Amino acid sequence: MPQIAQLSATYASQIFWALLFFGIVFFVIGKGMVPKVMATVDARDRQIAGDLKAAEAAREAANAQEEAWKVQSANQRAEAQAVIAKAKADAARATEARLAEANGRIDARVAEADARIGAARAGALGEIEAVAAEAASEIVSRLAGVTVDAGAAASAVKEALHG
C-alpha cells in the first residue's frame, strides 16, 4: 500500500499541499465567494417575501375598498328606495287629492243635473196637467156637450194624475 510505504517520504509534502490547497479553497471560495452567493439567495428571498407582502397588502386594500364600496352601494340603494317610496307616496297622495277633487266636481255636476232634471220634470208635469186639463174639458164638451170649468178640469186631472 503506497499510502504506508511512502508515508515517511511523502507525509510532509502531502500535509503541506493539502493545507495550502484547502486554505485556498477556504479563504478564496468559502470565505470570499460563498457569502456572496448566499447574499444573492438571501436578497432574492427577501425580495420575494417583500413582494408577497406587498401583494398581500394590495389585496387587503382591494378587499377593504370593495367592502366600502359595498356599504356605499347599499346605502345609495337604500336612499334610492326611500326616494322612490316617497315619490310613490307623494304621487299616490296627489292622485287621491285630484281624484277627490274630480269626484267632488262630478258629484256637484251630477247634483246640478239632477236638479235640472227634476225642474224639467216638474215643468213638464205642469204642462202635461195643463194640456191634459184642456184636453179633458175639450173631450167632455165634445162628448157630453157640457162646458167644464177650467179650474174643475185642472183639479180633476191633477187628481187622476197624482192618484
Partner 1 sequence: MHQFMIEPMFGTDHWQIAGYSIPFTNSALWMAITVAALFVFVWGGMKRELVPGRWQMAVESMTGFIDGLLAANIGPAGKKYVPYIFSLFMFILFANVLGLLPLGLLGVHPFTFTSHFTVTGVLAIMSFSIVLIVGFWRHGLHFFSLFVPHGTPLWLMWLIPVIELVSFLVRPFSLALRLFVAMMAGHVLLEVLSSFVISSGNAGLGWGALIGIPSFILMIAICALEVLVAGIQAYVFALLTSLYLNDAENLH
Residues of this chain that interact with partner 1 (CB under 8 A) are 1-3, 6-7, 9-19, 21-22, 24-26, 28-31, 33-38, 40-41, 43-44, 47
CB of 59 to partner 1, least distance (A): 23
For partner 1, the closer of residues 13 and 103 by Cβ is 13
How many CA atoms are closer than 13 Å to the CA of 63, on its beta-carbon side? 6
CB of 27 to partner 1, least distance (A): 9
CB of 31 to partner 1, least distance (A): 5
CA distance 43 to 49: 10
**Radius of gyration of the CA atoms of the chain, in A:** 62
* 12, three cell numbers: 510532509
CA distance 24 to 16: 12
CB of 74 to partner 1, least distance (A): 45
For partner 1, the closer of residues 24 and 61 by Cβ is 24
Report yes or no: 140 and 154 within 8 Å, Cβ to Cβ.
no
